[in-house]
A and B are shown apart, each in its own frame.
Chain A
Amino acid sequence: MNDDSVYDGLLGGDSSQWAFGTDFEDPLAGVDTTVPAGIDGAELAVYCLMLGDDTLVLSQRLAEWCSRAPELEEDIALANFALDLLGQARLLLARAAAADPSIVPPLPEGSPVPAEDALAFFRDAGRFRNVRLAEVPNGDFAHVVVRLLLFSIARLAILQELRGSGDAVLAAVAAKGVKELTYHRDWAGRWFVTLARGTAESRRRLLAALEQLWPLRAELTATHPVERSLAAAGVGVDPATIAAETEVVLDQVLAVAEVDRPQRAPLAGVGGRAGRDGLHTEALSRMLAEMQVVARAHPCGRW
């Protein structure tokens, strides 16, 4: 027995039974990533970044809740959602890199960092394509409930359509994601109602969070030219086409919660640009600075 290894006695010397794989792994190993005929690989890559950056950035925000939720059960729930969204992001960023390798930031010679990690950790904020709802800083528990509700209503509707995508990878990612977003949305809906109908203080906080996040909601169903083009080609989903469905689902929650729709106008873009174009709030840069610092300090690191 090796006294230097704490796992030796526990595992009979077979440490491969313990540690999760420490090498980088390709989440699309062996998956056919050929770009469908008639589709522009560069456009498909941008579209995958849009969907993948949403889930990557929101996953990071949810992960910031770890150890800080009001109850252990909800702490675990949020970490669980963060893990699901991170898994979806890995697949989508890997799919983006396979569709158009030129989008992957260059790394030093000999770096073991795979394309999905290069996209996650070596792009600056201006190259992220997520909606701004995903990036704004966390607030209280009502804030995370409202953010997750607004996001998951829209994302679940998109993924349901995307299951029929002409790109087999996107269709498969969507089919899996539908199962996960279903319980994200249910959890957020339940807590929305619970807080709205709980105490005067919980209702006050819920309404404040809804009021604060409402201007960011319109971006979820605004159409970017890349989305329009790929929707027309049967590969993507035009988010405008799921807008009516998101209103129906949200109204269900608002009715049970006895909450009125806020009257606030959507957050404007700048010169017609918004999150999908790489225009972000300053909060994204700060979040990325923390998220990316270790990877950037050790671009050739092996873990």
Chain B
Amino acid sequence: MVTVRERAAAVAAAVRDPEMPMLTLADLGILRDVRVEGDVVVASITPTYSGCPAMATMRDDLVHRLTDAGFARVEVRVVLDPAWSSDWITETGRAALRAAGLSPPGPANRPAGPVPLTLGPARRALTCPRCGSARTERVSEFGSTACKALYRCADCLEPFDHVKEL
């Protein structure tokens, strides 16, 4: 038997990210918890970046979807700790990014001790999400949203977004 919590969690998990709609909030790893407190469904989300402008939309979308699913009282809370990492994007999410022509992030670099200064450009060995070629070049480290860099494939010549490691 499906509990109320499980049903609410399934609805919340299926809500899509407003900036990368091929991903659900669960795929993106920002949905941290869904619980039922009395007659209130409490969903907890964490921002990807400090200034992520999509937080308000995600909150509104969660409230709308859960309300539509019959949960009368919904509360969305922010969780700041631990900070989001691109490592939390699920395998399903990575596959969805590739299918949509985006390059998923590699493992995030988390150095122990003081953060080293890097004066060389960020280098990533990426494959083109469209043709699979490894001959890719970076166009811009900063892209259409805070979480993406812009690349180009030297074989099929298509530009593509890479979701950055954080």
Contact = CB atoms under 8 A, between A and B. Distances in A.
Interface of A: 16-17, 19-23, 25-31, 72-73, 76-77, 79-80, 83-88, 90-91, 156, 160, 168-169, 171-173, 175-180, 182-183, 185-187, 189-190, 193, 245, 249, 252-253, 256
Contacts of B80: 28, 31, 91, 169, 172-173, 176
Contacts of A180: 49-50
Residue in B50, B78, B80 whose Cβ sees the most chain A Cβ within 10 Å? B50
Contact of A25 (B21, B42, B49, B56): B56
B49 A156 contact: no
Contact of A172 (B51, B81, B143): B81
A178 B115 contact: yes
Contact of B119 (A177, A178, A193): A193
A16 B60 contact: yes
Chain A at the B interface: SS class: helix
Interface in B47-71: 47, 49-57, 59-61, 64
A79 B140 CA distance: 13
A26 B45 CA distance: 13
Chain B at the A interface: SS class: loop
B16 to A, nearest CB: 8
Interface residues of B, number: 43
Interface string B1-16: 0000000000000000
Contacts of B52: 87
12 contacts: A16-B60, A21-B60, A30-B79, A76-B142, A88-B51, A156-B115, A173-B50, A176-B49, A179-B166, A182-B115, A190-B120, A190-B121
Nearest to B140: A73
A87 B75 contact: no
A17 B44 contact: no
Given A31-B80, A77-B141, A173-B80, 16 more contacts: A21-B57, A26-B78, A27-B78, A29-B77, A30-B75, A76-B142, A83-B53, A87-B52, A175-B83, A176-B80, A177-B50, A178-B115, A179-B83, A186-B119, A193-B119, A249-B117
A245 B75 contact: no
Contacts of B75: 30
Contact of B139 (A21, A73, A179, A249): A73
A86 B142 CA distance: 17
B55 A83 contact: no
B44 A80 contact: no
A30 B142 contact: no
A20 B54 contact: yes
B117 A253 contact: yes
A175 B81 contact: yes
A20 B56 contact: yes
Sorted from nearest, which 8 A-B pairs have the closest CB atoms?
Answer: A30-B77, A21-B56, A87-B51, A87-B50, A172-B80, A83-B51, A73-B140, A172-B81
